[in-house]
Amino acid sequence: MKSICVTGGNGLLGTKLLDLAHQKYRIISLDCQNAPLLPETSVEYVQCDITDREKVNQILSRTRPEAVFHTAAFTDVDRCELEKEKCWNVNVRGTENVALACKAIGAKMIHISTDYVFDGTNGPYSEEDIPNPISYYGKTKWESEQIVKKILEDFVIVRTTVLYGYAPGVRLNFVTWLIEKLRNHEPVYITEDQYGTPTLADDLAKALLMLFEKNRTGIYNGAGREYVNRYVFAQKVAEIFGLNCSFIFSTSTEQLRQPAPRPKKGGLKIDKLTRDLGISFSDVREGLIFMKDQMKYSK
């Protein structure tokens, strides 16, 4: 049985990858938490901070996976702006550690990046568009892409955006955060001027495995196929989950005064991925209905 490694195995995307792949592959899951979230005995869980180069190298040298799905990252955009040293260490140095370990054992690296490598003046973006990050988070993810390309020949960089979905115990994403707020009847202020292509994590996990299995290389966009602003997305969340949308108030990026600048016209085009893999991602309604069913059956 082939083996793969997933960094950030306790995150939303990592959990989806483990759940999707554990019956086909021997899996090593790495995360900095004390214990795994997915109670799957066929997955070997190893506590590991990716900023520890020696430990990353030791684990991959021992387990020798054929591919490493590098989903681990510091993704809190505002905290990245305020905690730049940690952001750089995790997103850049951590990625470098994983890439060097992959090179040492001849493993393919599937590295997750973001549409925040673009400035958001002319989205949605294709793989050929020129990055120009405006936030520190975006700058570290762009730098991490350069490191992967410099160290490895056998790699895939997959950019995604507004990742959402449900898995028990994982950190809140935009949709689960919004559901929690609306169920508690708390007002939320959502921008109307930030556009993107919200991405169901289950769709992305499926695409990542297919990229590995079809031995693709290079840069791909993996994102939802619908281009919407955050306010419209929030309204659809309320509609699908039967929540009171009167607690959702529209605002602007300037009024929110977030520490980190955001790409206003972000989002990603997925023509290349659709052509090469023969698949299509969910639109917002399809993705939210899928997620709602998962939450219902997990109770």
Give just the sign of the alpha carbon dihedral 292, 74, 93, 131. Answer: positive
Find the Cα–Cα–Cα–Cα dihedral 183, 179, 19, 109, rounded to 10°: -150
Distance CA 2, CA 209 (A): 13
Which amino acid, 213?
E
Give the residue from 119, 114, 116, 74 showing the smallest Cα distance to 92. Answer: 74
First to last CA, the chain: 33
Q: Using CA atoms, how far apart are residues 211 and 19, in angstroms rounded to an integer?
A: 17
Unique residue bearing structure tokens 């895939």? 156
Using CB atoms within 10 A of its CB, is residue 297 exposed (0-12), middle (13-18) or buried (19+)? exposed
Residue 273 binned pLDDT confidence (cut-offs 50, 70, 90): very high
What is the pLDDT confidence band of residue 296, given thresholds at 50, 70 and 90?
confident
pLDDT in tens, 155-172: 999 999 999 999 999 999
Q: Which residues are 156's β-sheet partners?
A: 110, 218
Q: Are 22 and 2 in contact (CB under 8 A)?
A: no
Distance CA 277, CA 207 (A): 8
pLDDT digits (tens, 9 = 90+) for 275-288: 999 999 999 999 99
Compute the average pLDDT of residues 10-15. 97
Q: Exposure pattern of 219-237 as b/e (b: 16+ CB <10 Å)?
A: bbbbbbbbbbbbbbbbbbb
- Which residue type is seen at 121? T
- What was the pLDDT predicted at 298? 63
Tens digits of residue pLDDT in 123-136? 999 999 999 999 99
State the alpha helices, DSSP H only, in the chain. Answer: 12-21, 53-63, 77-82, 84-88, 94-105, 136-151, 174-183, 201-213, 230-240, 253-256, 271-277, 284-297
In the prediction, which pLDDT does 198 show? 98
CB neighbours (10 Å) of residue 296? 9
Contacts of residue 99, defined as CB under 8 A and 6 or more positions apart, other chains included, come to: 109, 111, 147, 148, 151, 152, 155
Q: Supply 283's token pair.
A: 């639109």
Residue 209 has pLDDT above 70, yes or no: yes
pLDDT recorded at residue 299: 55
Q: What's the rounded mean pLDDT across residues 188-196?
A: 98
Using alpha carbons, select from 181, 196, 274 the residue that is nearest to residue 232: 196
Amino acid letter for position 124: P
Coil, helix or strand for 286?
Answer: helix
Q: What is the pLDDT of residue 38?
A: 78
Domains and CATH numbers, the chain: 3-171+197-223+266-282 (3.40.50.720)
Residues listed for the chain:
299
pLDDT one-digit tens code per residue, 247-263: 999 999 999 999 999 99
Residue with tokens 């995360």: 31
Q: What is the pLDDT of residue 90?
A: 98
pTM: 0.97
Distance of CA 243 to the CA centre of its chain: 26
